[in-house]
Every structure is written in C-alpha cells, then in structure tokens.
Chain A
Amino acid sequence: MGITHENLTNYLDRIEKNRKINAFIELNPDAKRDAKKVDEKINSGTAGKLAGLLIAVKSNINVRGLRATCASKTLENYVSPYDATVIEKIRKEDGVIIGMTNMDEFACGSSGESSYFGPTQNPSAKGRIPGGSSSGSSAAVAANFCDISLGSDTGGSIRNPASHCGIIGLKPTYGLVSRYGLIDLAMSLDQIGSLSKDVSSAALMLEVIQGRDFKEGTTLDISQQDFVSNLSSDLREWKIGFAQEYKEFTDPKIVREIKKGLDRLSSNGAEIVDIEISNLSKGISTYYLTVFVEFFSGTRKFDGRRFGYNIENVCGREVLRRIMLGRYISQKEYSGKYYKKALQFRSLIKKELLTVLNNVDIIAGPTVPKLPHKIGDKVTDPLVMYGYDLLTVPANLAGIPSGVIKVGNVKDIPVGMQIQSKPLGEQNILNVMCNLEGEK
C-alpha cells in the first residue's frame, strides 16, 4: 500500500471510530482511487507539493461531484458541477480530498451548532463547541481526521474554531486566494484559508492556493510567494503591538494566557509595544451591517427554481434573521443610513489598523473574547453571539491577513493567539507562529 492510501485508510478508520465528533457531512467516495493515483505518481517521482496529504474541505467550497450543502437544507442535494479554483490548485499539486466538513449553516455563526446536519463536537475540549463557522474543518484537524483542511473566514470563521480547537488557522489577505467556487456569506469579506496541525502545513497550503485567478476579479495581481522556504523563527528586532483595548473586552483568564505568549515572544527577541485601536468596538456593527446586505444579495439565487429549496422556506433562524435584516436595511430609503454608513466606518477602521501596522511588524492579541460554551448551552441573544466576533472582524474589514496559534489552556480549553499583519504580510504571521511553535 502506498503512503497516501495508507494515510487515507488510517484517517477513515479514525473518522469511523469517532463519528460522534460529526466533523464531516460527506466523505469523498473517490478518495481511494485518487490516493492510489497519487501513490503511483510518488513512485514515478512526478508527484506535486501536496502528494500524500489528505485535505478536508468546508462544505461551502465547490468540489466537483461532491455536495456543497453549506450545512443547510437549502442545498441538501446540490452536487457541485465544477471545482473551485482552490480545489483545482490542490488537485494539481496532488492533494486528495477526503471529504466535505460540517459548518454553521451558510457560515452564519461561530459555534458550529447551526448546521442542518447537527452540531460538531470540539475534539480538544470535550462537551464544548468547536467554534465556527469552519467547525468541521477545525475539528477534523484537531481530531486527526486529515492533514490540512480548508475553511472560509468572513469575520473569524477560520480563526475562531482554530482557537477553540487549539490548532493553526490562517486567513490570508483579501484577494490573495481566489474565492471562485466559494459560496458567499459576504463577498467583500470572505476569504478562503487553511486549518492545520503545524505552521509548515499552513505555509504549504497557502503556497498552493495563492494567486491571481483570471476568473475572479478581486484577486490580486502579484507574483507567487515561497512561504515554506522563507519560514524562519528569528524575531530579533521585531516590534509586536498589543492593544490595551483587547483587555477591556476579553475574559481575563484568556488575556492571562495571551500575555504568557507575548512573554515568550519577548524572551525570543521581539519588542512588545502598546498600541491603541480606538475603533475596535465599532467593528461589530460595521461588520454585521455589511454581512446582512451582502448575504441577502448573495442568497437571492437560492430561489428553489434550479437547485435545492427556496432558502427562506427551509433555513434556520440565524440565516433567516440575516436575510430579513439585509432585505430591510438595503431598502432604498435606508441605504444611506445603514449600508453606506457601514462602508464609511469600514474605511475608518481599515485606516486605523494600517496606520498602527506601519509602526509595528505585527499585532498580537486574543482571538475570541470568551471561552467556548458547552454544547447545548445555546446562546439565544444574537447580540451576545455576535460579540464573539469582536476581535476577529477587524482583519476582514481591513482585508489584512491574520493567523491563530495555540498559546495556552484555561482549564484544558485551548486558547489561541491572533496575529495580524499588514496586507500580504502572511510570511510575518507564519514566522511568528513558527517561533511560538518551536516553544511548545
């Protein structure tokens, strides 16, 4: 048996034995065939960068022949007729898709509980939510069901579960990775990224999926970067910013773990400096107004005519709430009041973050203000739920890259540090994570 095939068999065995984690919505029936093909290539010495690796994919990314359900009844039976650009690139480098992962319905949530296919368990914190919305992609990595997974991040959907599950998550700069084939939550904020066990996997996956896409107009026209060969843990002369505002909104127990992480970075040669992000608290309303309007617009195609069901007739409460609010605030009479104002605030937030990032190499801080709650302790107040995204949405609003790496535990619950950099500063983030990883 070849290495890919063997790897696959082990993963499938583990998935089967741990079905209660509910990380996958569908497994790829062709995975074995694909793995064998890759093994042949490995033997003949023609294999690509991802040869031997099994990749799990969030169910809002189109993989030809598999269902992209968005964990909703709406698309329960929608089988993708095409590959997303990131999937084409992964296939080209001989990655094998193991299956489609669970998520919050249409990526609307940060707990993983709103899936039509049932909630996902947190493999790293028993009985607790894994975070979301890339809940299954995160759990699949944490439970060792795959090598790397793809998620999408609109306001923290990769970083939030990465933090709660104690793994690496990376949301790239807006436009570095093609969204072609990603089913929209909010087009101006969505970005595909990876979840992985180690930093080099994150670098490797980004190296594969990055790049200008002639099919996607918002991708950036820049040359390919070598993230793996440029990995370095040297932080001498680095300036790392920490905003005092973070403490104001975050559980002190989490702040304590983040401080420990900063201490380690400091002892490894970096200078920790105080910064001010005065617009931090404005992010949430700006973010949600944008999401409501763009989500409303993007879901108009789910009219039940050509595929699936009419979304409003079958979706869950949170999805419906966002559609209704989007419909309401995008009315002609309110457009100036809400959406346009949100766009204005967005540029304000972006400006502040970019100014701060001119003076420091990266910003480090907490990822989620609170620890993951127990499954079943449902948060019914949407405003409380939206508050979970407070620390992650600014990166999306500013279009900057942001990564998460575990720096500690609170009562055996992982705590991830969030590292943000200026646009296209992915290498900086990876290198800081590299430094922290070596410290484990």
Chain B
Amino acid sequence: MKTIIGFEIHEQLNTKSKLYCNSSTHYRNVEPNTNVCEVCTGMPGAKPYPMNQDAIDATVEIALMLNCDIIENPVYIQRKHYDYPDLPSGYQRTSLPIGKDGKLNDVGIWEVHIEEDPGKYDPLSGLVDYNRSGVPLVEIVTAPDIRNPEDGRKFLRELSKVLQYTGKVKPEGGTMRMDTNISLEGGARVEIKNINSVKGAYRALKFEITRQKNLRKRGVKVIQETRAFIESQMITRRMRIKETDADYRYIPDPDIPPLLINAKKIIEIKSAMPEAPHLKLKRFMDTFGISHDDAWAITNEKEMADDIEFEIHQLNKTKKVVDFNRHIIKKTIEYKKLTYKQSGLNGINVSDILKLIEDGHLTDFNAELTVRNIIDKTIDGIYTDRVTLNNIENLGLAKINEKDIVEKAVIEVLNENSNAVEDFKLGKSKALNFMIGQVMMKTKGRADPDIVRLILKKELR
C-alpha cells in the first residue's frame, strides 16, 4: 500500500534582530521578557518596522538553494488570525510564497516563505515569555513525494544540512519544527502538528502509518483530521476534525507594504551563495572517485568540505586528503563529540599535518595524535595557527628516521617477547602485528610501521 507523506518545515533564521523590530533574537539562556519591545509584545499602537532585510535575503537564498523560482511580483504579508496566549497581536504575520517549485533530491518543494515565531507559553504556570516572539522563521512546504518514514528522515536530514550550509539559520540546531501530512493510498489525509525533531518526525510517521493501517484492517475509515504529536509518548493524538474549525481569516497586512524582490537582487544572492550540499556531494563523488557514503560523511559540514578542497589544492594528493579527513579527523571529532567547526581544525593546520606526513616527519599514528593535540588545545581556548616540524618535535611526535634506533627497539622487543617469536615461527601471522605494535609503543608511535615490519621480518628470518 502506497504511503504519501509531505512536510511543512519551520526553521529560525539567524538574524541579529527580530523580523519586525530591533529587539535581539537571543531567547535562550536569557531572563524571560528581556529582549522585547512594544512591537514584539503587541502593545496598543505599535506597528511592525519595515521587514528585516537580512531575513528576506536569507529566505531568498534558502529558496534558491532548494532550486526554487523566486517570485518577482509583489509578495504580500498576510495576517493569520488565531487566539493563543503566545501570540501577542492575535495574528501571525506570514508572507505569501517567496520561492516556488523547487526540488531537493527527489522531493519537490512547493514553496518557501517567511513568518514570525510566536512567544513561548507555559500552560502549567500560565506565563508567557515573549523573547522568541518575532524571531524570523523560514517555512518550507514539500510536495507529497515521500513514501516512507525512512525516506522522510533522510529528506529532513538533507534539508537540515542545506539550511546549515547557508549559514543563515540558527547554528545550534534543534530549532527545526515541522508538521507532516500523511495518507495511505485512497485514504483521507491526516495532518500531524507539533513535531520538534527529525527523530520525532520519524517516530510520528511510524506511529501514524501503523494507526491508519490498523484502522483499515478493522474496516474503519480514516478521517481527515489534525493530530498532535506527543513526544514523551511517541504517539499522535486528535486535535480537531473539521478544517473549517481553523479559519485564520487571512488578510493582507495593511501595515506592511508587499515585498519586491528584483532580478538584480536575486543574481546578487545567487552569485554569493554556497554550493548546495547535495550538489557538492555529487561533485565529490564524481571528481574524487569516492563512494556515496564517504562523500556524504565529508560534506556533512560545509566548513570541512571547504577545507578539504583547500587541502587538495595545497597538496595535490586527493586520496590522502580525503582518507585522512574521512577516517582520522572524522573519528577524532566524533569521539570528542564536537563539530568540525568547533574543533579548531582548518584547511591550513590540516594541510601542515598532511605535508609533514608527506615529507616523512609524521607517522599516521602520530598524525592522529597531532590532530587530537590541536582539538585539546582548542577546548582549552588555544587556537592552533600552523603545525611545524618544530612543534611536533617538541611534542615528541616527530618520526624517527634513524634506522639504528628502530633496529635497537626491534631487538629489544624480540628479546622481551619470546612467546610471540615462537608463535610467529609456528605460522601465526597475528604475532607479527603484535610485535609491530610493541615496537610502535616503545618508539611512542614515532617509528614508521612499514619500516618496523621490514626490520622485524628480516630479524625473524
């Protein structure tokens, strides 16, 4: 049975001030109702300031990144009326589409528009915090092109990546909110509201498909309704049945002249915007000859992908750069639970490391330790500009290129591990790897493992 899924996604734009006033958009970790003014609290007589230009430009950029056509006719701002304590004016200002008919991978994008976030209402205490009120949001509406929860999750992750790539949305993450429409072929469409994470969307879809299938099995017709996702229980619950219950009485907002986005502005934004991650991924696969998974991993963060291109340009060694980033850097930052951007690594210091490897001053083993060293220093607030031979020598990480020192360590290991020598002679090749490890330990990772292997083999003969 075919499943039909579509999303409406909201993400906060990362502007300094709110959409219709000069209050700051900081609402996390600040005292309630401190970043507010008469506009965003809807005091009598207050009017919206002209729309925040940064927010408009960001929305245009996001629409372009999603391959939308930008509307060049006047775009009206509508008032969407509903009564809720977090909505200070009793209506939300929401624009008509700024971009239309886009695509992200296989999913159609119906429209992209801009609106304002309401405040935060705590039903238990009855208190409202208006710090969030008026923060600009971009809303993205997809075509019902998604067929299962897994694809839905993939799409949302990809979209989130596109949004992060623009650098125009809140970087801390977790600000993405969505509604989803879901129906089984031939059945009524159910809208689920209140989803606050990609994981939540996946769970909500899973639950809803099961619910609708079960109803069908029992011969009960699925009715068109709006349901809320209850995150704590991972279920959906009915909000309202009839569409007419939510008549928002839309009118064009008389206080806000319609937006006009001209062709010159669109070209300007287009030429300055970053390559979309799904396009970058494809280009990486094609030009570097790497797998989809590898390309996905290293394009996940725009900063890393950009630095990799820089490093390739510096060293002219594609495979080494990609592998080092894909395996060593990725592993290390994930272990530290950091993003690449937070790690303090960059195209210059990573290029230095790669160059030291190439010139025979660093083993892969100690290159990893050097990476860790940079990250640890970053955590302590020390930024690493460059990595020089002097640096790694001081850290005791420089490779030992003197053969006699390595040979001395090999002899010591052979003397101390007679059991392993026996095993090797009985044909257990694992014993060789063990002894290589012992030599590496003795040399603190500074010996070249390939040379150690050669010397060991020679001595064991």
Contacts and interface: CB of A to CB of B under 8 A. Distances in A.
B251 A293 contact: yes
Nearest to A175: B257
Given A303-B90, A331-B249, A183 B47 contact: no
Given A300-B89, A300-B91, A188 B46 contact: no
B50 A300 contact: no
B43 A82 contact: yes
A183 B45 contact: yes
Interface stretch (A212-220, A273-281, A353-361): A212-220
Given A214-B49, A215-B49, A301-B44, A187 B255 contact: yes
A70 B44 CA distance: 10
A218 B251 contact: no
B357 interface: no
A313 B13 CA distance: 38
A303 B83 contact: yes
Contact of B50 (A68, A70, A188, A217): A217
A87 to B, nearest CB: 10
Given A183-B44, A217-B49, A301-B44, A294 B89 contact: no
Contacts of A293: 251
B81 interface: yes
Main SS at interface, chain B: loop
B38 interface: yes
A297 B91 contact: yes
Interface in B35-93: 38-39, 41-51, 79, 81, 83, 85, 88-91
Contacts of B47: 179-180, 187, 215-217
A214 B41 contact: no
A345 interface: no
A296 B88 CA distance: 15
B46 A181 contact: yes
A196 interface: no
A310 to B, nearest CB: 11
Bin the interface of chain A by size: 35 or more
B89 A339 contact: no
B44 A75 contact: yes
B427 interface: no
Nearest to B22: A215
Contacts of B256: 217-218
A415 interface: no
Contacts of A306: 41-42, 88
Nearest to A296: B249
Given A188-B254, A217-B51, A330-B249, A300 B45 contact: no
A372 to B, nearest CB: 29
Contacts of B268: none
Contacts of A262: none
Interface residues of B, number: 33
Given A62-B44, A307-B44, A332-B249, A187 B254 contact: yes
A181 B49 CA distance: 12
B288 interface: no
Interface string A198-221: 000000000000000011111000
A179 B251 CA distance: 20
Interface in A298-354: 300-303, 305-307, 327, 330-332, 335, 339
A335 B38 contact: no
Interface string A171-200: 000000001111110111000000000000
A218 B47 CA distance: 10
A60 interface: yes
B261 to A, nearest CB: 16
B172 interface: no
A84 interface: yes
B255 A218 contact: yes
A217 B45 contact: no
A218 B90 contact: no
Contacts of B38: 81-82
B79 A297 contact: yes
A78 interface: yes
A117 B9 CA distance: 49
Interface in B210-254: 244, 247-251, 253-254
B89 A301 contact: yes
A68 B254 contact: no
Contacts of B257: 217-218
Contacts of A307: 43-44
B45 A68 contact: yes
A156 to B, nearest CB: 19
6 contacts: A61-B45, A68-B45, A218-B257, A297-B91, A301-B88, A306-B42
Given A297-B90, A331-B249, 8 more contacts: A181-B46, A214-B49, A216-B47, A217-B51, A300-B91, A330-B81, A332-B248, A332-B249
Interface of B: 38-39, 41-51, 79, 81, 83, 85, 88-91, 128, 244, 247-251, 253-257
